[in-house]
Structures are given as structure tokens and as C-alpha cells.
């Protein structure tokens, strides 16, 4: 015999039965009494008392509740209780809904009005908020975190990044990465670290980083970081590695040879590559940040030349500017054509044309380093490096030069021109570092993802692919080692999809 369906218990009404003799005297205050630990009969007694005094009392399911009152519970326990009841108050705890101890209630009852809420009345909302944040696990992979440009930990990340840089200057890449990862995690937090215990639930923050963070939280500065900042080697390494074409090894050798300034490099007739000579010549301009409007002006200049060379080809601004940065150290541009193969030879033509017009102060083209498609497939299948093989050009542009006017040296008279408002200084041109990369259309989403950065984001995308998905990702393709196939994608979103990652837009890749 079929059983009769069990009749569902009726939901209690939202409002507690109001005493007919009471009227609401404080319409802005709606109490909710937490029966947990208090018990139902005491709750009913207190509710009647409050209603007699002109207070409105409702259940946790009401959206109108402003004051949640409990007895003998911690903030965390009340939040848990509200959550279990699916109370709409949950969302507004801390802003609009107050979690209060019974002391506020009894004082209000004897005053005959809602007394002002003092800190001692509040259940620890801040502590509770931290608990909640702790529960939202922060991923150890930057590609599973949203990292906007602006964040709450400028002082801490600056210090950690100096430690990362210093380690890099000594060739300690592992240590450098550890500091850089710690900084990256802090950049992604939507809340603020105020005490060392706040780091408890965070990944990638090692002992050393923790020590430095603690020092800064307590004293405002880290003595270790300050010592590095002041050190002669750090300052010299910073100066030298900012020269275009100079890496850590060269800078370190120069420092060991006793060289300290740019003038020293010239005076000692230090052997410089063509790239480094150009870097030194335009040092001042190249160490001045490129603005977004300068980047756009250069993008347009390249777009015009590209259109002349290969109609239908496109130019996309990538790198830091695509992530929303307002300034950067260079301009990264990605060139492609909607028909695969049409892009071959484009870079040479574009560079030759711009050189003729006098827009280039320096350039060096690197050919596509793949010999054949088979080579390419092989390399991607096995690859663990982040190097890619696109045809590319590292260059220095003359922004604001007259077409045809090639300035000979930085000391040469600066020419007035029609884009002077872009470079900011009247009648001047400015040397700007530009990276041009050409990609076949079928690889464009991979190249776009690979060249948008940040470096931390890219590194973790590859690490995640390898360790969590058994796939190889680089700026050309995504290879599934288990299925032994290349996964195609027509957009960045599809690549995230293949990796089972939530899509993160460029503005939130500032890891
Ligand atoms: N990149 C790369 N191969 C290179 C150089 C750079 O794949 N040989 C990638 C980097 O991983 C980064 C992006 O290109 O994701 C941009 O690099 P870069 O211009 O150095 O950094 P930005 O993030 O643009 O920083 P900035 O604003 O200072 O230029
Ligand atoms: Mn860049
Ligand atoms: Mn670049």
C-alpha cells in the first residue's frame, strides 16, 4: 500500500506574535533573538518583553532584521547559526546588521529605548570576518586567484619584491621566486593583513617572508630590507640591469670590476653589445615609464604601417597595458592575420618600412626558431621551458620623430613635431622600448595569453597545467599528454576552459 506523503511542517511566521497592546516605537530597529543556548522559552519571554517596550521582533528569516541578539555565543557561532537558517541577514553582517550580546538588549530594556551600540556590546565581527576569509581558501596557483592592480598591501609587497630582486641579483632564483610568490599572494587578498596570525591560512608565505612581514606590521619597516635598499651593490645592480640588453651576469661582472656609474662604463671603454650601446645612449628615456597614451600612440603607428604592408592584419596591445596598468617599461604588441600563413614575412616588411621612415632607434629581429611544423610539435610536447619561438623584434622606437628624421644621438637637438603632446615635453621626442611579436592566427589566443602576463600569472598557468592537468602550455599551444593531442582554442576563455580554470580577465592577472 502506498504510503501517504508526510505532511511538511508549516514554516513559522516571520514575525513573532505581537502583543496586541504593543505598538512599534522604534521602526528603525528590528530585533532577532538567537534561541541557540538561550532556549525557546527564554526567547519567547524576552521577545514579549521587548514588544511591550515598543521594539519590533522578527525571526532570522526576515530581511528586515537589524540587530541580532544572542546569549553565550561567539560571533562565529552566531554566523554559523544564521547560515544554517539561510538567514538573509548573513550578507549584511558588519554593514547594516549588528551581532550583539544580550548586554545590549538588557540595557536597552531598562532604558526603554535602543541604547547606542558600544564595542563591548558587539560580538567579534572582525574576528568572525577573518574566520570567513580563512575559510575561502586562497589557492597556491596565481592562475586561480584574482589579482587586481590596486591592493591593500603596498608596503609589504614592495619590501618582499626588493628581497626577491636582491636574491635574483645574487643568482638565487629559488629564493627570489619564494619572495615573489609571497608578495603575489598578498596582492590577491580582498582583506587586509593586520597581524601575523592573519597569515595563518595563506599559502606560499615562507618563514623568511613571514619574519619580514611581522617586522613591518610591528615597526613599519624591515631593517633587512632597508639595509639592502641602502647597499651599494643593490643600487649598482639596479642601475646596470635597467640598461636595455644588460642582464644580471653582466651587471654583476661590472660591479666586481669596480664599475659603479653609467659614466664609469663609458670612461672604462667597457665592451658593449650593439643593444647595450643603444640602451646606454637612451638610458634616461628608457628608464622613464612609458605612459598608456604613449603606448596607444605607438600601437597606432605600428597599425598604420602594418595595414600598408599587409591589409587585414591586426595589432594588439598586450603586456602590462592590457592588464590595465597606466605605465610600463615597454610596449608589447602582437601582430597577426586572419588567414594562417599570411603573416609570414610581415615583420621584416614592417620593420624596414618604419626604419625608412625614421621611427626606429634600434631593432633586432629574431626569426622564428622552428625549422618545421614537426619540430614545433615535438618541442611543445616535450617543452618545460617558457621560451617561445615566434618571429619577434626587440626595438627602441623614436616616439615623436618626424617621419624621415633619425636623431643621431641623445645629445642632438630635440625636434618639435606633431605628437609632442604625447611625449609630454614640448618639442621633444622620446625613446621607447617596443616588443613586436608575430603569430599565426591559429596560435593567437595562446600568444595573447602568454604575452599578457604577469610573469607570476604565466608561470603558475604553466605549473598548474603540468602538475594538475598533465598538460603542456606555452605561447603556441596546449598539449594534453594523457590524450596525446593538441587542444585548439579560438579565445583565451577556451584555454581556461580546457584547463578547468575559471576565466580570469586581464585586469585581474596582476599577480
Ligand atoms: N614574455 C615572454 N617572452 C619574453 C619576454 C616576455 O613570454 N621573451 C612575456 C612575459 O612573461 C610577460 C609578457 O610577455 O607575461 C610581458 O612581458 P614584459 O613586457 O617584460 O612585462 P610587463 O608585464 O608588460 O611589464 P611592464 O609593464 O613593465 O612592461
Ligand atoms: Mn611590457
Ligand atoms: Mn616586453
String of DSSP letters for 190-240: SS---SGGGGTT-SS--HHHHHHHHHHHHHSS-HHHHHHHH-HHHHHHHHH
Confidence (pLDDT) at 84: 85
| CATH tag, 129-229 | 1.10.150.110
What are the Cα distances from residue 43, in Å, to 40, 70, 163, 291, 509? 5, 10, 57, 63, 50
- The DSSP string of 47-111 is HHHHHHTT-EEB-TT-TT--EEEESS--HHHHHHHHHHTT-GGGGGBTTTBEEEEHHHHHHHHHH
Give nearest CA residue, ligand 1 atom 2.
451
Nearest atom in ligand 1 to 435's CA: 19
Q: How many CB atoms lie within 10 A of CB 137?
A: 11
342 Cα to the center of ligand 1, angstroms: 25
Confidence (pLDDT) at 21: 62
Cell numbers standing for residue 23: 505598538
Using a 10 angstrom Cβ sphere, with 0-12 exposed, 13-18 middle and 19 or more buried, the burial of residue 409 is: exposed
Confidence (pLDDT) at 55: 96
Nearest atom in ligand 1 to 320's CA: 24
Q: Looking at 285, 330, 388, 460, which residue is catalytic?
A: 330
Cell numbers standing for residue 508: 585581474
Residue 435 annotated to the active site: yes
Top-level class of domain 231-281: mainly alpha
Q: How many CB atoms lie within 10 A of CB 378?
A: 12
Pocket lining: 254 vs ligand 1, CB cutoff 6 Å: no
**Residue labelled with grid coordinates 626558431:** 369
Q: How far apart are CA 192 and CA 360, in angstroms?
A: 46
Pocket lining: 458 vs ligand 1, CB cutoff 6 Å: yes
Angle (nearest 5°) at CA 260 between 254 and 263: 100
Cα torsion through 447, 449, 453, 455, rounded to 10: -80
Q: How far apart are CA 505 and CA 502, in angstroms?
A: 10
Angle at which helices 40-52 and 102-111 cross, to 10°? 30
Helix (H, G, I), strand (E, B) or coil at 26: coil
Q: Which CATH architecture has domain 450-508?
A: 2-Layer Sandwich (3.30)
Pocket lining: 390 vs ligand 1, CB cutoff 6 Å: no
Pocket lining: 460 vs ligand 1, CB cutoff 6 Å: no
Give nearest CA residue, ligand 1 atom 26.
328
Confidence (pLDDT) at 418: 37
**Residue labelled with grid coordinates 619574519:** 211
Pocket lining: 53 vs ligand 1, CB cutoff 6 Å: no
Pocket lining: 329 vs ligand 1, CB cutoff 6 Å: yes
Give nearest CA residue, ligand 1 atom 9.
451
420 Cα to the center of ligand 2, angstroms: 23
CB contact set of 359 (below 8 Å; sequence gap of 6+): 301, 397, 398, 401, 403
Q: How far apart are CA 109 and CA 115, in angstroms?
A: 9
Ligand nearest to the CA of 328: 1
Pocket lining: 242 vs ligand 1, CB cutoff 6 Å: no
Domains 129-229 and 231-281 share a fold: yes
Pocket lining: 506 vs ligand 1, CB cutoff 6 Å: no
Residue 330 annotated to the active site: yes
Cis peptide bond N-terminal to 270, omega within 30: no
List the domain boundaries for the chain. Answer: 22-121, 129-229, 231-281, 290-381+388-440, 450-508
Cell numbers standing for residue 445: 589566443
220 Cα to the center of ligand 2, angstroms: 31
What are 497-506's contacts with CB under 8 Å, separation 24+?
498/471, 499/461, 499/464, 499/465, 499/469, 499/471, 499/473, 500/469, 501/143, 501/144, 501/464, 502/144, 504/143, 504/146, 504/457, 506/322, 506/323, 506/324, 506/452
Q: Looking at 435, 460, 480, 500, which residue is catalytic?
A: 435
Give nearest CA residue, ligand 1 atom 4.
387
What are the Cα distances from residue 8, in Å, to 4, 5, 12, 15? 12, 9, 12, 20
Cell numbers standing for residue 22: 504593543
Top-level class of domain 290-381+388-440: alpha beta
Residue 182's nearest CA partner among 511, 472, 503 is: 511
Rg over alpha carbons for the chain, rounded to the nearest Å, is 31
Cell numbers standing for residue 415: 625636434
Q: How far apart are CA 355 and CA 363, in angstroms?
A: 9
Give nearest CA residue, ligand 1 atom 7.
451
Nearest atom in ligand 1 to 386's CA: 7
User: Do the Cβ atoms of 354 and 400 come closer than 8 Å?
Assistant: no
Q: How far apart are CA 126 and CA 76, in angstroms?
A: 10
Give nearest CA residue, ligand 1 atom 17.
319
Ligand 1 mutation pick, 332, 457, 507, max ligand atoms within 8 A of CB: 332
User: Do the Cβ atoms of 87 and 63 come closer than 8 Å?
Assistant: no
User: Do the Cβ atoms of 139 and 145 come closer than 8 Å?
Assistant: yes
Q: How far apart are CA 149 and CA 326, in angstroms?
A: 10
N- to C-terminal Cα separation, the chain = 64
Residue 19 annotated to the active site: no
**Which residues neighbour ligand 3 (ion) by CB within 5 Å?**
330, 332, 435
Confidence (pLDDT) at 20: 56
Nearest atom in ligand 1 to 332's CA: 19
Q: What is the mean pLDDT of each run of 10 residues along the chain (511 residues)?
A: 47 56 87 93 95 95 94 89 88 85 96 93 68 69 97 97 98 98 98 95 96 97 98 98 97 97 91 95 97 97 97 98 98 98 96 95 86 67 65 95 52 39 58 97 98 98 97 96 97 98 97 98
Cα torsion through 109, 111, 117, 118, rounded to 10: -110
Top-level class of domain 22-121: alpha beta
User: Do the Cβ atoms of 449 and 475 come closer than 8 Å?
Assistant: yes
Give nearest CA residue, ligand 1 atom 8.
387
C-alpha 377, offset from chain centre: 32
Ligand 1 mutation pick, 455, 460, 475, max ligand atoms within 8 A of CB: 455
Confidence (pLDDT) at 424: 42
Does the pTM surpass 0.85? The reply is no
Amino acid at each position: 500500500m502506498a504510503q501517504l506523503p508526510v505532511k511538511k511542517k508549516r514554516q513559522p511566521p516571520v514575525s513573532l506574535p505581537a502583543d496586541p497592546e504593543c505598538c512599534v516605537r522604534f521602526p528603525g530597529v528590528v530585533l532577532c533573538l538567537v534561541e541557540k543556548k538561550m532556549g525557546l522559552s527564554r526567547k519567547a519571554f524576552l521577545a514579549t518583553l521587548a514588544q511591550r517596550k515598543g521594539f519590533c521582533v522578527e525571526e532570522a528569516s526576515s530581511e528586515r532584521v537589524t540587530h541580532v541578539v544572542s546569549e553565550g555565543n561567539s560571533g562565529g557561532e552566531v554566523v554559523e547559526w544564521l547560515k544554517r537558517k539561510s538567514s538573509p541577514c548573513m550578507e549584511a553582517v558588519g554593514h547594516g546588521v549588528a551581532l550583539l550580546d544580550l548586554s545590549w538588549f538588557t540595557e536597552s530594556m531598562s532604558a526603554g529605548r535602543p541604547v547606542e551600540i558600544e564595542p563591548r556590546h558587539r560580538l567579534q565581527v572582525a574576528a568572525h570576518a577573518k574566520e570567513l576569509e580563512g575559510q575561502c581558501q586562497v589557492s597556491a596557483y596565481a592562475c586561480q586567484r584574482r589579482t587586481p592592480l590596486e591592493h591593500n598591501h603596498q608596503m609589504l609587497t614592495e619590501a618582499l619584491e626588493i628581497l626577491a630582486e636582491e636574491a635574483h641579483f645574487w643568482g638565487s632564483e629559488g629564493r627570489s621566486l619564494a619572495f615573489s610568490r609571497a608578495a603575489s599572494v598578498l596582492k590577491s587578498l580582498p582583506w587586509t593583513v593586520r597581524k601575523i596570525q592573519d597569515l595563518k591560512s595563506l599559502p606560499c608565505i615562507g618563514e623568511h617572508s613571514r619574519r619580514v612581514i611581522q617586522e613591518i606590521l610591528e615597526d613599519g619597516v624591515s631593517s633587512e630590507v632597508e639595509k639592502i635598499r641602502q647597499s651599494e651593490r643593490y643600487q649598482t645592480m639596479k642601475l646596470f640591469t635597467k640598461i636595455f640588453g644588460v642582464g644580471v651576469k653582466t651587471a654583476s661582472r661590472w660591479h666586481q670590476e669596480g664599475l659603479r656609474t653609467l659614466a664609469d662604463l663609458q670612461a672604462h671603454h667597457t665592451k658593449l653589445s650593439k643593444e647595450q650601446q643603444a640602451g646606454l645612449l637612451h638610458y634616461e628615456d628608457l628608464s622613464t615609464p612609458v605612459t598608456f597614451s604613449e603606448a596607444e600612440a605607438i600601437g597606432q603607428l605600428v597599425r598604420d604601417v602594418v595595414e600598408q604592408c599587409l591589409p587585414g592584419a591586426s595589432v594588439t596591445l598586450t603586456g602590462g597595458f592590457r592588464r590595465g596598468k597606466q605605465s610600463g617599461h615597454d610596449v608589447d604588441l602582437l601582430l597577426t592575420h586572419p588567414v594562417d600563413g599570411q603573416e609570414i614575412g610581415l615583420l621584416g616588411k614592417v620593420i624596414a618600412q618604419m626604419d625608412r621612415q625614421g621611427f626606429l632607434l634600434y631593432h633586432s629581429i629574431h626569426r622564428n626558431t622552428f625549422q618545421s611544423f614537426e619540430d614545433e610539435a615535438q618541442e611543445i610536447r616535450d617543452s618545460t621551458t617558457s621560451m617561445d619561438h615566434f618571429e619577434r623584434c626587440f626595438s627602441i622606437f623614436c616616439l615623436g620623430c618626424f617621419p624621415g628624421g633619425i636623431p643621431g644621438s641623445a645629445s642632438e637637438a630635440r625636434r618639435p613635431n606633431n605628437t609632442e603632446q604625447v611625449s609630454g615635453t614640448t618639442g621633444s621626442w622620446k625613446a621607447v622600448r617596443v616588443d613586436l611579436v608575430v603569430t599565426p592566427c591559429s596560435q593567437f589566443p595562446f600568444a595573447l595569453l602568454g604575452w599578457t602576463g604577469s610573469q607570476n600569472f604565466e608561470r603558475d598557468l604553466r605549473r598548474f597545467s603540468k602538475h594538475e592537468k598533465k598538460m603542456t602550455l606555452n605561447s603556441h599551444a596546449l598539449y594534453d599528454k594523457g590524450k596525446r593531442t593538441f587542444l585548439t582554442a579560438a579565445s583565451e576563455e577556451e584555454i581556461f576552459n580546457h584547463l578547468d580554470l575559471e576565466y580570469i580577465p586581464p585586469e585581474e592577472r596582476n599577480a
